[in-house]
Every structure is written in C-alpha cells, then in structure tokens.
Amino acid sequence: MTVKRTVFALTAAALLAGAAAAPEQARSFAGADPDIEAAGGRYWIYPTNSGDGGATRLYAWTSDDLKSWQRGPELLRLDAIRWIGDDGAPSHSLWAPDMVAANGRHYLFYSVGPQNPTPSRIGVAVCAGPGGPCVDSGEPLVTGGDGFEAIDPAVFIDRRSGKRYLYAGGSAGATLRLWLLKPDMVTIDREIPVKTPPQFTEGAFMHERDGVYYLSYSHGSWRHASYSVHYATAPSPTGPWRYHGAILTSDARFKGPGHHAFLHDANGRWYIAYHRWEGQSGNGPYRGQRRTVVQPITYGRDHRIAPVTMG
C-alpha cells in the first residue's frame, strides 16, 4: 500500500450573497472501515457492512466520476472460507477489508470474528482484479490469542525497499503488531518487533510521503464521540514513532470519525477516506449505520498533517 490509493473530494465551499457559506457536505454512503484505490480506469472502495448479508460478505463499490458510487461485485463470503469454522465459534463475521495490488494481481486481506472470547483471525484471498473474483488462500494468515486481537489488517509495500509489511491489531488489547510478508503476499516471512504508539486503539494505516513514514490509527470507542484519528511519523516503516496528535475528531455535526485510509492521486493530491456517524447527537453509544466519506488533506512544511474539518 505505498501510494496506491486514489480518491475523490466534494468539499468545496460555496459563496452566497458575497459571503462564504458553510462547507458543502461531502457525499457519503453506508459502510465503514473504508479502503480505496484506483485501477482499470475506475475508483474502488472496499468497506465493511455495505451490502446484503450484513457482515457475512464483502463487496467493492465503484465509480468513474468520483461522485456517483454503485455497489459492485461481491468479493468474498463466509461460506467460501474453508477454515472459517475451525475455531468452533457458533457464528462469524467479516470486516475491515484491505485490497492491495501486487504481482499483477490483487490481494484482499480481511478480519474474521468473533473477537472475544474466541481469538479473531486475519485471512487473505487472491483476486483476479480489483473487482474479483477472489479465492481464499486456504488458511488464516494470523490468529489472535493471549490478549492480542488479530483485526484490522493493513498492508504497506515500501516503494523504497520493496518490502511488504502487514500491520494489524487493536481493540481490547490495543496492541499493534507488524509482520513482513513474503513476495507471494499470502505467507508470513517473520514478525518485526514494533512499539505500540500513543493513543492507539485499532485500524492502523501506513503511508509514505517525501521519505517520511506516517503511521495513523483510530483511538477511542467506535460507537462513541471519542473515536478519532491520530498519527505519528518515523524515518522507517517500523519506527521509532514520533506522536503528533489527532487529525480527525467529532464535532457538532459528525461523530466518531475513524478507521481510515490515506490516498494519493495522479495529480499529486492527498485525501483521507474514513467512516463517521451522521445525524447523531451526544457522546454515544450511536446506533444505525456508519457512513464512508472522503476529504482532502494538506501537509505543512514541517511534514505535519493539518487537522481535517469534516464537511
């Protein structure tokens, strides 16, 4: 996931009667934990809970104009994963997909629950293209346990070294772990010791810009106003982390922004895709569906990311 993400933004402010109006609300659609990229002349978003079947299937959403989005192909379903019942749990769910292009193919990484008390797991499927079809690799890539929850996979391919990293973990254990993947993208090479950064809860994401590595992640409770996006920088994909604080937090209109992905387009513009609660008040717990939205971001001369005002 070097700079593999390309997205849209619809947050231009309008001028009315000579005065600046409130920013236009960015278009959103039902779904959470968005991952996004561009391929085949189209834009693709990979969310949690955005199609029939609840958390039992994963879909792609597509657009050719970055304005109108349609639910596209079904990528993966629980009953197509042979090892899904090996943990003996009575029910399972799929969430937090991450699609990565490599080796002339696409690889779909995903979380399999329940998280507690049964250890969660991370799987990977090999896909013919950004819209599938996808076939599971045949076994879990990472299994949780001993207080570690194997959730929220995010793969980063370092364009400088060619190494392929898998970041995962969070929630109750609030622990970040990191593995090096083999070139085949479906096998773990080895685990790399890494420190969990300040304010980390879940949903890690790595991107690189101008030689600076940005580790960003969600903090707080996903159904409450505390949910937010924080980040740290480092000279390498493995740290050491320098914490810089939050860039997305709840406001009067939108609550609990989090589980995000950074995106870079062909014109050099940067964006953040994330989910949030709309039409909610108070501090939570919120109910209903989270909404996926994308907005532009800016960097300062000091490589800091400017806080995002939700629109």
Backbone angles phi, psi at 71, to 5 degrees: -70, 125
Q: What is the pLDDT of residue 19?
A: 33
Q: What is the pLDDT of residue 6?
A: 38
pLDDT digits (tens, 9 = 90+) for 262-298: 988 877 889 899 999 999 999 999 999 999 988 889 9
Backbone angles phi, psi at 306, to 5 degrees: -70, 140
For 36, the 3-state DSSP assignment is strand
Give the residue numbers spanning the domain of 182: 15-296
Tally the domains of the chain.
1
Contact 157, 2 (CB under 8 A): yes
Backbone angles phi, psi at 54, to 5 degrees: 60, -125
pLDDT tens, residue order, the chain (311 aa): 444 443 333 333 332 233 333 445 668 899 999 998 888 888 889 999 876 656 899 999 988 876 777 898 899 999 999 999 999 999 999 999 999 999 999 999 999 999 877 799 999 999 999 999 999 999 999 999 988 999 999 999 999 999 999 999 998 889 999 999 999 999 999 999 999 999 999 999 999 999 999 999 999 999 999 999 999 999 999 999 999 999 999 999 999 999 999 988 877 889 899 999 999 999 999 999 999 988 889 999 999 999 999 98
Q: What is the pLDDT of residue 52?
A: 61
* Residue 123, domain member (yes or no): yes
* Residue 58, domain member (yes or no): yes
CA–CA distance, 114 with 70 (Å, rounded to integer): 29
CA–CA distance, 215 with 132 (Å, rounded to integer): 28
* Residue 291, domain member (yes or no): yes
* Residue 175, domain member (yes or no): yes
CA–CA distance, 163 with 157 (Å, rounded to integer): 6
* Residue 3, domain member (yes or no): no
CATH number at residue 211: 2.115.10.20
Q: What is the pLDDT of residue 65?
A: 74
* Residue 209, domain member (yes or no): yes
CA–CA distance, 124 with 182 (Å, rounded to integer): 13
* Residue 118, domain member (yes or no): yes
Q: What is the pLDDT of residue 53?
A: 57
CB proximity list for 62: less than 8 A, separation 6 or greater: 42, 43, 44, 45, 69, 70, 72, 131
Q: What is the pLDDT of residue 62?
A: 86
pTM of the model: 0.90
* Residue 201, domain member (yes or no): yes
177, with CB counted inside 10 A (0-12, 13-18, 19+), is buried
Percent of the chain whose predicted confidence (pLDDT) is above 90: 74
Contact 131, 73 (CB under 8 A): yes
271, with CB counted inside 10 A (0-12, 13-18, 19+), is buried
Residue with tokens 């996004």: 36
pLDDT digits (tens, 9 = 90+) for 142-173: 999 988 999 999 999 999 999 999 999 998 88
Torsion of CA 83, 86, 92, 98, to 10 degrees: -40
